[in-house]
Amino acid sequence: MMKNKKLFWSFLIILFWQVISMSGTFSSLILPSPYMVIKAFLESIMRGELLNETMYSLIIILEGLFIGTFFAFLLALASIRYKIMEDFVETLIAIAHPLPGIALLPLIILWFGTGRTSVVFVIIHSALWPILLNTTTGFRTIPRIFTDVGHNLGVRGIHLISTIYIPASMPFIISGLRIGWARAWRALISAEMIFGAVGGKGGLGWYIFKQRVFMDTAGMFAALIIIVIIGMLVEDLLFERLEANTIEKWGMTVK
């Protein structure tokens, strides 16, 4: 239902775009027609270049998300285990969470240069804090009854975390992952683009930047399409499936 509506509107938008570009109001350097974009899209995929850059971006974001999620869980666990860590983590979140990853770029370039490490660092920063914030909120707001029942049934220590705390906080954890992903994905593209400007190499952001230098407007649009598709796939498909298989199945959605 939802998907069909989106398809329908996308189709209309593309049609409208095609009409505008056929009317000749704008030069194709400013606004290439959908046809040209699709041609550029297919060509660059044939050349393998666009796919390579996409893979580059995807691998780097997975790496960053993985490390970010790992540390987010580590800190969240520490903060429910030790009161002193709870205060520390809370302060850390208050300081770091409002800071956009991109605002840190000049500093990161200063520290790590414009290489891959810096991009990974930006992704970790973008993903870690929202995931941590949501996870700790989830842990802290677990209904008392679940922990009471857990204690009563003899569940102790690390087992309590893995079998009760984590599933009971699933709505929070998933929304943390969603926000973390969205922020990291946007930060990644921006970082690659800015690094492209200062001599970095690789990734979708960099590809867009490079096509601008070549005045390949259609190629820029082709990369944008990939970015949109990946965003939709992850946000609409991956996360929706994850929710359908967990919190929706368990009747734990807040809706």
Residue number with CB closer to other proteins (117 or 245): 245
Residue number with CB closer to other proteins (117 or 253): 253
Residue number with CB closer to other proteins (100 or 167): 167
- Rounded to 5 degrees, what angle do the CA atoms 23, 11, 14 make? 30
Least distance (Å) between residue 176 CB and other proteins: 17
Residue number with CB closer to other proteins (110 or 153): 153
Least distance (Å) between residue 162 CB and other proteins: 12
Pairwise CA distance, residues 239 & 193, whole Å? 27
Residue number with CB closer to other proteins (24 or 154): 154
Least distance (Å) between residue 83 CB and other proteins: 18
Residue number with CB closer to other proteins (164 or 208): 164
Name the residues that contact other proteins, by CB under 8 A: 143, 145-146, 148-149, 151-155, 159, 163-164, 167-168, 170, 246, 249-252
Residue number with CB closer to other proteins (148 or 236): 148
Least distance (Å) between residue 155 CB and other proteins: 5
Pairwise CA distance, residues 194 & 197, whole Å? 5
Least distance (Å) between residue 105 CB and other proteins: 40
- Whether 36 contacts 218, CB under 8 Å: yes
Least distance (Å) between residue 189 CB and other proteins: 35
Least distance (Å) between residue 160 CB and other proteins: 10
